[in-house]
Amino acid sequence: MKDPTDQEISTARLAVNDDEKIRESYEPLRVLGQGGMGRVILARHRFLGHLVAIKKLIIPETGPDSRSCSRFLNEAKAAKRLKHPNVVQLHEFGIDTQGSPYAVMDYIEGEPLSSLLQREETLSAVRAAALCKQVAEGLAHAHEQGVVHRDIKPSNIIVQRAGAEERAVIVDFGIAKLITAAEQELSKTGEILGSPLYFSPEQALGQQTGPGSDIYSLGCMIFECIHGTPPFVSDSAVQTAMMHVNAKTPIATDASGKAKTPIDQVIERCMQKAPEDRYANAAILASDLNAIQLGKTLTDTLLYTSKTRQEFNDRRIPDNFQTKDSSTRIALV
Ligand SMILES: Nc1ncnc2c1ncn2[C@@H]1O[C@H](COP(=O)(O)OP(=O)(O)O)[C@@H](O)[C@H]1O
Ligand SMILES: [Mg+2]
């Protein structure tokens, strides 16, 4: 793991001074969410009155650990590059007097898709397409800016209601990859981050991830919206991860091997094992989801042909299949 650069440290020192200003400016209201590494707090600007979400890294008693701090800084750098209605907007970043980094972002008033799904179990194809199209549009923007999210899952999508409409906003760029030379360092730690339920096969194998990995994970999320459960679930994280590599996507197909419904065809296209067989980019995926939302048929050029599925069915997977690097750790986030 690369140590923070002098410039990053001096930025952090500057931010400590800013921190007093931030605490003077914001009144904390409540905790919005708590994950493995951080806590998200709802706060109100003391003078302007608007609400913000402040994400803070939880510092262990042993003191701040440089890897988590770098990852948090990475998250802020990734989010800072992005400006899109379906991506949470970052405003400020700093390190407080205890050495804990924080990020101030727009507060998205809504409900995480994970809790919406817990309550409603499944969504109609039209509603799922309407929501996931927005996620695909947010991802298309991120990918254009060289940011790969790498942790697309229902708890990282906030659904905001605006009358009859629903808006989906992507949060948590905690393990995002910035496609720059310096950033490659973070992925050299032999650690697999993300949730195995939504892992792309390349993530499961600890291989290079790219925009196609987000498209795969979004495919898993669309699957969950439609079928009420993620596509691959098993007792152990490693086994679940390996199912993404080896197992067939459990959707109903016709005699030719083609998924029966348009939304399942989209899922299948997203969840191809090889990134090059998936949608070429998130914008094309968004346009297919848009077609489903509007009740239009998917255009033939965008449709998944049964060829790759047949090839997959014919492929023999070794029984002793293992990850490339046996020291690889899987972190359940
Ligand atoms: N900008 C935001 N506005 C409203 N709620 C948020 C915001 N960011 C995060 N949350 C809530 O906090 C939870 C955890 O935030 P997240 O960034 O995903 O952190 P973690 O890295 O701990 O998963 C989210 O699932 C969501 O419920
Ligand atoms: Mg999260």
Q: What is the pLDDT of residues 124-160, one digit of tens each?
A: 999 999 999 999 999 999 999 999 999 999 999 999 9
* Half-sphere exposure of residue 127: CA atoms within 13 angstroms, side-chain side: 16
Q: Tell me the C-alpha to C-alpha distance, in Å, between residue 323 and each of 169, 239, 275, 330.
A: 33, 11, 18, 11
Alpha carbon nearest to ligand 1 atom 1, residue: 107
Question: Per-residue pLDDT for 229 more than 50?
Answer: yes
Q: Tell me the C-alpha to C-alpha distance, in Å, between residue 308 and each of 245, 276, 324.
A: 15, 11, 24
Question: Per-residue pLDDT for 191 more than 80?
Answer: no
Average pLDDT over residues 168-175: 88
State the burial class of residue 280 (Cβ atoms within 10 Å of its Cβ: 0-12, 13-18, 19+). middle
Report pLDDT for 273: 96
The DSSP secondary structure of 7-68, one letter per residue, reads HHHHHHHHHHHHHHHHHHHEEEEEEEEE-SSEEEEEEEETTT--EEEEEEEPPPTT---HHH
Report pLDDT for 66: 78
Average pLDDT across the chain, whole number = 80
Q: Which of 20-34, 43-57, 61-75, 183-197 has the lowest mean pLDDT?
A: 183-197
Are 221 and 153 contacting, i.e. CB atoms less than 8 angstroms apart? Answer: yes
Indicate whether residue 105 lines ligand 1 (CB < 6 A). yes
Q: Which of 11-25, 35-49, 273-287 has the lowest mean pLDDT?
A: 11-25
Average pLDDT over residues 283-292: 95
Alpha carbon nearest to ligand 1 atom 14, residue: 33
If one residue of 156, 167, 171 were mutated to test the ligand 1 pocket, choosing by the most ligand atoms within 8 A of its CB, it would be 171
Domains in the chain with CATH codes? 23-106 (3.30.200.20), 111-297 (1.10.510.10)
Residue of 240 and 321 predicted with greater confidence: 240
Residue 20's pLDDT band, with cuts at 50, 70 and 90, is: low
Average pLDDT over residues 171-199: 65
Active site residues: 151
Question: Per-residue pLDDT for 306 more than 50?
Answer: no
For residue 172, the CA-to-ligand 2 centroid distance in Å is 5
Rg (CA), the chain: 20
pLDDT tens-digit readout, 36-76:
677 888 999 999 999 999 988 877 777 777 777 777 787 78
Q: Tell me the C-alpha to C-alpha distance, in Å, between residue 233 and each of 197, 199, 224.
A: 7, 11, 11
Report pLDDT for 272: 96
Residue 179's pLDDT band, with cuts at 50, 70 and 90, is: low
Question: Per-residue pLDDT for 248 more than 90?
Answer: yes
Report pLDDT for 299: 65
Indicate whether residue 108 lines ligand 1 (CB < 6 A). yes
Report pLDDT for 6: 57
Indicate whether residue 194 lines ligand 1 (CB < 6 A). no
Average pLDDT over residues 277-289: 95
Indicate whether residue 35 lines ligand 1 (CB < 6 A). yes
Alpha carbon nearest to ligand 1 atom 16, residue: 172
